[in-house]
Structure 1
Amino acid sequence: MNSDLDVLIVGGGLVGASLAIALDGAGLVVALAEAVPPRVELQPSYDERNLALAQASVNALRALGVFEPGTPLTPIRRIHVSRRGDFGAVRLDAAELGMRDFGAVLPARELGNALLRRLDGCRALLRIAPAQAIALATRHDAVDATLRDGDATRHVRARLVVGADGSESFVRRALGIGVQRHDYAQAAFVTTLTTEKALDGLAYERFTDSGPVALLPLGERRAGLVLSVPAGDAARVAALDDDAFLAFVHERFGWRAGRFSRPGRRKPYPLARALAERTTAARSVLVGNAAQTVHPLGAQGFNLGLRDALTLAELLRDAASRGSDPGDAALLDRHVERRAADREATTAFSDDLVRLMGHDLLPLRVLRSLGFHALERSSALKRRFALRGMGFRGDASMLGLRP
């Protein structure tokens, strides 16, 4: 294997794999270090979740050749947002706003399959798996990385190292980058269930005192469920049998979609925010959950991370076309600059919404109801709100803008 690389991507999850694909054919020597062998069932990020992909993400993944005909994408064409105990609701309809879709829902495992198939077609990509980064040493012209595979180690040198290795990023720690953490004291149950009424492209976000509940459309009356509960209640909810769990979901969500049945496997995930204090260091950059892990409210986590990867790929491809150094400090500064507005706005929106919707104080209930009323009555506000949720914010990558 060539040990002199232009780019070493540490982490082969959804964002790291997307970045590797986006760099395919750029004329760069790129390696992707994956902690586990490249099989969907072994990747921790290719789990039972159902991902709500913003339209910008759908556009980009199509442009990259990740989505082939037959990929089971379920369009999101309508969105219903409400808060238990408050007056009013916000109803977004893509057709009424002059749009085709707001995005699409896809099981994470299906996205993992699609990414792996596309990675297999990246002829110039070096895939190192299984391999974990265990040491990084930054020189003036490169980063020396030590990778471990079982008892064996190998050494590579890269002009740029990308940390795409998740919330507990080794790359972030090795670079000495601090992280701001906040525990939401909540856990999310992620599963699927069958609805009595076909959702037909309708996604729900229902807020309650105990946390949000999201219902995402899938095919054949199946729906993806994300149910947040207080952390202290997670063990009790996890122990419920199917009938008791469905009764609990109805108590929290209501009956808008009719009776629920056939819940899938479920387990709680603790919810916390983790924001890297900076996203670059000398010849290194963080993307995805290594840069920021956000509350799943609004399904912005993967979409935000993908936008990190697409912007970085765009800058690296431009540098390669000019023969420039991919680890140049000016390029990394430009990446930070381009990502700042989107990163700050998306993380703040997610965090503020959790706090605003999580309290049952009367003044907040009145404020929320007035906000729902104003948004529901204004097509201009709805369109602006929808476009931001669709990923069209900040200095976006051109890939996401292509229909």
Structure 2
Amino acid sequence: MNDSAPFDANNNILIVGGGLVGASLAIALDAAGCRITLVEAAAPRADAQPSYDERNLALARATVNGLTAIGVWPLVAAQATPIRHIHVSRAGEFGSARLDATRHGVDALGWTLPARELGAGLLRRLDACTQLVRLAPASLVGLQQHPGGWRAQINTPQGEQYIDAALLVGADGTESFVRAQLGIEVETHDYQQTLFVCTVTPERDPAHRAWERFSDEGPIAMLPLAERRCGLVLTVPAEIADEVAALDDAGFLALAQQRFGWQLGRLQRPGRRHPYAIRRVAARQLISTRAVLVGNAAQTVHPIGAQGFNLGLRDALTLAELVADAHDPGAAALLDQYAARRAPDRAGTMAMSHDLVRFACMPQPWLAPFRSLALLAYDRVPPLQRALARRGMGFRGQPPRAVLERLP
């Protein structure tokens, strides 16, 4: 095909971006019998060897239900660690909130999983897809709009290709090229914070318990992993990020210990630290003519509460659910329905992460009793406890059907 050939979308769906969300969407659409082309910037690669130093994901219960529905979870479940308890507190204040899986009638509130393991599971599941064409490594370099869809110019190692599609999906991350080409503006908020992520081994077994602890300097989280390890997520003000990055292991552990406390005893064996500047980037709209944004291309949220991939997967599964029942995957009415379905979950999740950072980390002393009373209310008042647990497990708004299915 070349750029002068007759346009023929033939209900093809073009997904730009083969990360966790884009790959999940491709799998879900393939299972529904859709024709899909997936453009991935990097060549597929599954790391064979586990590493002490790796990024870990906190997967909500709804996310695991969704991954089960598309056949990915059985491929990775053996490497996952259940989260059965969550403890939320604020340094120097008396209130705290605790969530317990048994109290809410489930075996786990969520799971932790190395991102590498989920990526490998997605690759294995992609290999079994029958309607999917994968171009990797490949990059989108141009778009031309047609009455029935989009013609995309793709650069590959084999040369230039043109792909016609009735629906264009931007799943290409925070700096989305698709979003820019569609002319969709974004709202950006710089939190002036830097996140440091690493693995540590505490003196005491975390016993399937996760912690979120707030302070004037920002939140710190500890996630349970296999082999008595924990994933440490430490937020610091941006102005001291270089200083923290320059600390030796002993200095970094001392800072983490001071911020987290001694609930797990002494923290030991820090892995390689990975810093991330924290910004919120939200597209002003999710849809355009025969085009839609999902995952970080639609919204990149503060990592507090680990909502990024969980929210993005609900984007993907909602879109797949609507497209599976449609004659035309790019129809305006379908995309309007998608935007309406995603609005409550998207707005609620973004507001929760944004407002929680502002409220829980503000240094004003007069806020302390109000914060403590709010945490105690979530801990002690059953309706508030149920609402907190439901949202924490990823059930907000009108979830896609796939996330409501039972775990095997």
TM-score bracket, normalised by the shorter chain, equals over 0.9
Q: CA deviation at 1:151?
A: 8.3
Aligned to 1:181: 188
User: Structure 1 residue 334 and structure 2 residue 337: aligned?
Assistant: yes
Q: CA deviation at 1:153?
A: 1.7
Aligned to 1:371: 374
Aligned to 1:120: 127
* 1:239-271 CA distance string (max 9 Å, x none): 111111111100111110111111111121000
Alpha-carbon distance in 2 for matches of 1:267, 1:392: 30
Letter in 2 for 1:343: R
Normalising by structure 2, we get a TM-score of 0.94
Where structure 2 has 5 or more consecutive residues not aligned to the other structure, the ranges are 2-7, 48-52
* 1:97-118 CA distance string (max 9 Å, x none): 2222111000111110111111
Q: CA deviation at 1:4?
A: 5.4
1:315-394 correspondence to structure 2 within 5 Å? 315-319=322-326, 324-394=327-397
Alpha-carbon distance in 2 for matches of 1:267, 1:27: 40
Alpha-carbon distance in 2 for matches of 1:388, 1:346: 9
Contact persistence 1:74–1:106 (CA under 8 A) = yes
Alpha-carbon distance in 2 for matches of 1:138, 1:326: 16
1:60-209 correspondence to structure 2 within 5 Å? 60-68=66-74, 71-149=78-156, 152-209=159-216
Alpha-carbon distance in 1 for matches of 2:78, 2:39: 26
User: Structure 1 residue 53 and structure 2 residue 59: aligned?
Assistant: yes
Alpha-carbon distance in 1 for matches of 2:277, 2:361: 17
Aligned to 1:26: 32
Q: CA deviation at 1:150?
A: 5.1
Contact persistence 2:186–2:281 (CA under 8 A) = yes
Aligned to 1:308: 315
2:228 equivalent among 221, 227, 238: 221
User: Structure 1 residue 249 and structure 2 residue 293: aligned?
Assistant: no
Q: CA deviation at 1:195?
A: 1.1
Alpha-carbon distance in 1 for matches of 2:294, 2:323: 14
SS at match of 1:24: helix
Residue 268 to residue 148, structure 1, CA distance change in 2 (3 Å): same
Count of residue pairs brought into register by the alignment: 395
Aligned to 1:15: 21
Q: CA deviation at 1:360?
A: 1.8
Alpha-carbon distance in 2 for matches of 1:76, 1:25: 29
1:234 equivalent among 234, 241, 255: 241
Where structure 1 has 5 or more consecutive residues not aligned to the other structure, the ranges are 42-46
SS at match of 2:376: helix
Normalising by structure 1, we get a TM-score of 0.95
Alpha-carbon distance in 2 for matches of 1:178, 1:122: 34
Alpha-carbon distance in 2 for matches of 1:373, 1:4: 56
CA RMSD of aligned residues (A): 1.6
Alpha-carbon distance in 1 for matches of 2:56, 2:219: 16
Alpha-carbon distance in 1 for matches of 2:224, 2:254: 20
* 1:31-75 CA distance string (max 9 Å, x none): 10000101146xxxxx93211101000011012110226531111
